[in-house]
Structure formats: C-alpha cells, structure tokens
Amino acid sequence: MPHFTLPLGPQGPVLNAVVAVSNERSAALAAAGQSVPKPLPIRALVDTGASTTCVDPSVLTALSLTPTGIVLLNTPSTGETPHQAEQFDVALIIPAPVGPALIFRTIPVVASELLAPQGFHALMGRDILDQCLFSYNGSIKLFTLAY
Amino acid sequence: MALERELETYRTKLPELKGENEGRFVLIKGDQVIDVFSSYDDALKAGYTAFGLKPFLVKRIDAIEQAQFISRFTDPLALKQSA
C-alpha cells in the first residue's frame, strides 16, 4: 500500500498538493480550442472535521473554473441553517516523496473563502480520507497517509 | 449565484427523480433534466460533451439532502469578528 509520512506542523497535518482542471473539463477546453490552465501547487490541511474537500476561491479562479454543482453547507458561521455553496470539478494530485502519487482525476470540491490567509489553500476532507488510511501520531509529531 | 435556474429545476423535478434514482446523479441544463447517471464522473462527462463550457448542473439525487459540514471558520466576517 503506497504511503508517506510527514511532520506535523504548527497547523497540523498540512501537505503539498496540486489542483488542476478535471479530465472532463480539460477535454471540453480542448474541443473549444482553448488552452488548459496549468496545474497549481497548493498547501492542504488534512481535516477530519470537513465532510467534503474545500478549496480557496483564489485557486479556482486561477484555473478559470465555473461551478458545476451546488450543495448545502454547514460551517460554524452558518448557524443552524446551511447555505448553498458552489461546487467545482477538479483534479487533485497529492505527490508522495517516494512512490506513486495519490491521484483524483475528477473530484467535486466546494469553494470556501479565506483558507489562503490561514496558511493553506484547501481542506482535505473525509471524502478523500474515505479512500485512505490516515494516521496521526502526535507523540512523535508525524502523520501518515496510505492509499 | 450561478446555476440558480438549474437548482430550481432540480427542486421542481425531485419528486419525479427520487425513488429508484436515489443516490444517482442528475444532469440538468436550464429547465431540462437531461439524464440520470450512476456516477458523478459519467454525469460530468455527459455535461461537458453536450454543453461544452456553458453552465450545467450535476447533482446527487437525495430525497432529503444531507448538508456537508466544515468545522473550521471559513466565513470572512466570522474571522474578522474573532480576530
């Protein structure tokens, strides 16, 4: 089972990832004679408190994405009533220091504001963790992701 | 917000869509339900193939939609207030 281990930082389990246009959108761009935006390197926080993966709008804008979904979203700021949040289809690649990367060629993500000022651009939620084994070893300040 | 018309179509058509389509993915353009697919990827591919870069909605069919949840503060106003 491919895996990697990284140090826990001050913000917790943060890792490098790459966000790109999904395979399906890439094909549509090519069919329209448009260039495909270059993939963007980001920092992502592994967040078991997020049911879905979220990406800062600045990243989605840089990829010239438009929403293809709408979902109900609860955050601490929404109170008891969830609000409608735009969903985007992207590709997400999590490179491993050694061995194969964890690759999602098409995955829906929710736009979530103000992640970048917190030092990361995405919350890697349980939709991704559902396909992984995640180990948080606080005693030696390391975390491991196997997939 | 984008896709408001498509979302309204989903709400209107949900009584017809739910049941045997529960958990599948519907592709909607404007006020038209285009088709229902067993996977998100298939619905998305059909949407881009049919409509290119024009707006369309792909949505999981749920009789009662369960909201996604983020436990972190991501609202700009909430962040400013807590600073």
Asked if A72's CB is within 8 angstroms of B67's CB, the reply is yes
What is the per-residue pLDDT across A48-92, written as a single tens digit (0 to 9) for each? 999 999 999 999 999 999 999 999 999 887 778 888 999 999 999
pTM of the full structure: 0.92
Complex ipTM more than 0.95, yes or no: no
A69, containing H or E segment: strand A69-74
In this structure, of A18-32, A80-94, A109-123, the range with the lowest mean pLDDT score is: A109-123
Residue for token digits 């353009």?
B29
Asked if A68's CB is within 8 angstroms of B58's CB, the reply is yes
Backbone angles phi, psi at A119, to 5 degrees: 100, 5
Please state, rounded to an integer, the average pLDDT across all residues of chain B. 89
What is the per-residue pLDDT across A27-45, written as a single tens digit (0 to 9) for each? 999 999 999 999 999 999 9
pLDDT in the model for residue B23 = 97
* Regions of chain B with pLDDT less than 50: 76-83
pLDDT in the model for residue B71 = 87
User: Per the structure block, which two tokens stand in for A109?
Assistant: 């993500």
Distance CA A140, CA B19 (A): 50
pLDDT in the model for residue A114 = 63
pLDDT in the model for residue A81 = 86
Chain B closest-CA separation from residue A106 CA (Å): 7
Asked if A89's CB is within 8 angstroms of B74's CB, the reply is no
Q: Is B57 on the interface with A (CB under 8 A)?
A: yes
Backbone angles phi, psi at A107, to 5 degrees: -145, 140
pLDDT in the model for residue A77 = 78
> Mutate which of A68, A81, A84 to disrupt the B interface (most B C-beta within 10 Å)?
A68
Asked if B44's CB is within 8 angstroms of A68's CB, the reply is yes
Chain B closest-CA separation from residue A11 CA (Å): 12
Q: How much of chain B, in percent, has pLDDT values that exceed 70? A: 88
The total number of residues shown for chain B amounts to: 83
Q: Report strand pairing: A54-55 vs B57-60.
A: unpaired
Cα-based distances in Å from A7 to A96, A102, A136, B80: 13, 18, 10, 30
